[in-house]
Amino acid sequence: MKYLLPAALILCLWQSVVWVTDVPAFILPPPAKVAVTLWGNRALLAEHAIVTLSEVMIGLLLGAILGMVTALGLAMAPRLDRWLKPVLVLSQSIPVFVLAPILTLWFGYGLWSKIMMALLIIYFPVTSAFHDALVATPPAWLRQAEVMGGTRWRVLWFLRVPAALPGLMSGLRLAAVYAPIGAIIGEWVGASRGLGYLMLLSNGRAKTGLMFAAVLVVAVMTILLHAVVNRLACKIENKSRGQAEPSL
């Protein structure tokens, strides 16, 4: 419900621009025309949306798992942290979008090049958010756990990880928004299916209404994905509250 008012404002602004500028429909179609096009091509859009959603979900899952494992490894191995963290930061100096042609060359035009794009674009936010939360465990808790005889692994799993869950959830919320971007960029570079491919095809054939309809489907997909992840994150955070105190 919270998205309805912003969406209504955007639609009103969109329609106002069309009225004021009298821009041709092949450049900026009015919302009503896009809605008609969306409904008339709903089967086509659904077919391509399923492909993009599959790429996003697999990339999100693999990227989140890899990011969590990396963050745990960095937190448990300070020497590894000193060496690997700068490498991770340096890797972000390369725009992930320029890697899309390379990934297409390595993994082909199928799903995996897009999955890898989604994975790469969310890997660092998840790793960074979870790692920062792991190393920010209150020192008083760690001292109390040490006094209580907690082993290194028990402190990690029963204290540091529960305390770091809010940070991890923040990373996953960002990942839910970034993952579709990676999949769409991958489809732009090389694909025969997916919403990104449909956008390029529509643009090349001057079917602007269909292109805008595909954009709207991507926007709705991203909002729904973020809402689902946010709901799950809130439940996990609520369960974890009060459980991170040392009880080893």
187 closest CA partner among 200, 170, 173: 200
Judge whether 33 lies within some domain.
no
- Flag whether 126 is in a domain: yes
Is residue 87 domain-resident? Answer: yes
Q: Which two tokens stand for residue 219?
A: 């926007």
Please state at what angle helix 31-40 crosses helix 208-240, rounded to 10 degrees. Answer: 80
Residue 10 forms part of a structural domain? no
Q: How many domains does the chain have?
A: 1
69 occurs within a structural domain:
yes
Structure tokens at 107: 């993994």
Q: Is the pLDDT of residue 106 over 60?
A: yes
Provide the domain limits for residue 167.
48-240
Reply yes or no on whether the pLDDT at 25 is more than 80. yes
Residue 143 is given by DSSP the state H
pTM: 0.85
Whether 177 is in a domain gets the answer: yes
Per residue in 44-60, pLDDT (tens digit) is: 999 999 999 999 999 99
Per-residue pLDDT at 51 = 95
| Alpha-helix residue ranges (DSSP H) falling in 22-110 | 31-40, 42-76, 78-91, 100-107
Q: How far apart are CA 18 and CA 33, in angstroms?
A: 12
Asked if the structure places residue 13 within a domain, the reply is no
Tokens of 31: 């919302």
Q: Is residue 235 part of a domain?
A: yes
The helix/strand count (H/E) of the chain reads as: 11, 0
67-87: per-residue pLDDT in tens?
A: 999 999 888 887 776 777 777
DSSP state for residue 159 in the 8-state scheme: I
CB of 183 closer than 8 Å to CB of 57: no
Question: CA 129, CA 172: separation in Å to the nearest integer?
Answer: 9
Q: For residue 224, give the CATH number of its domain.
A: 1.10.3720.10
